[in-house]
Chain A
């Protein structure tokens, strides 16, 4: 009964080789988020989708893109990964965004990406 599923759990790629990480949810939540978490650091929001509306954080590099083909799935595309992109990538969902009681975010297990 997993609610937020991420695949793969571990991914190794080469410098500059495009990689796609996937996230799916069974909660039927409106909002899906992608976070980057480097070792011993807090999760950092990259972007989120509210339904089909894409919201990019100002400091998210252009190298990071996202797609949400339907409510259940969201993808993170890294077009040309650099060594500094080695991190855990977390997907999360919430019913709404903002400051209401439905804003609790539910996290997936993460994809650990290593760029060689």
Chain B
């Protein structure tokens, strides 16, 4: 069965530090990948998505993610985080026979001012 793994449960950074959140998926075929963000008390919002083409995807608020097929990875990056980036980040994937969006368990990011 398809699965999505996020390596870090909780990441704590100071403002201006660089961010990389890991995401790995298990399916080997065509896969569509997403990063969603959930700010405290708010709904899930789409940060970025990859369907095909350039494996480096740019999203909102300065986030980007790189699809590396050989590593089954879709890591999220931001060169310099801000306090307002404090949120929970979910990686998700469509693919395979399931046809459902499968979420990782999420990574909570805390940015210290």
Chain A interface residues toward B at CB < 8 A:
4, 40-45, 48, 57, 90, 92, 97-99, 101, 103-110
Interface string of B82-113 (1 = CB under 8 A from A): 00000000100011000111011110000000
Partner of A101 from the list B51, B90, B95, B106 (CB cut-off 8 Å) is B51
Using Cβ atoms and an 8 Å threshold, which residues of chain A touch B31?
99
Interface contact B106-A45, CB-CB below 8 Å: no
B49's closest neighbor in chain A, by CB?
A104
In the bound assembly, the distance between CA atoms of A85 and B44 in angstroms comes to 20
Interface contact B100-A99, CB-CB below 8 Å: no
A99 to chain B, nearest CB (A): 5
In the bound assembly, the distance between CA atoms of A43 and B101 in angstroms comes to 10
Which of A42, A103, A105, A109 has the most C-beta atoms of chain B within 10 angstroms of its own C-beta? Answer: A42
Interface contact A42-B43, CB-CB below 8 Å: no
Interface contact B99-A41, CB-CB below 8 Å: no
Provide a sorted-by-A list of 8 A–B residue pairs whose CB atoms are within 8 angstroms.
A40-B106, A90-B44, A98-B94, A98-B99, A99-B32, A99-B94, A107-B36, A109-B42
Known pairs A42-B104, A42-B106, A104-B34; A97 contacts B44 (CB<8 A): no
Whether B45 is near chain A, meaning CB under 8 Å from some CB there, is yes
Whether B14 is near chain A, meaning CB under 8 Å from some CB there, is no
Using Cβ atoms and an 8 Å threshold, which residues of chain A touch B11?
none
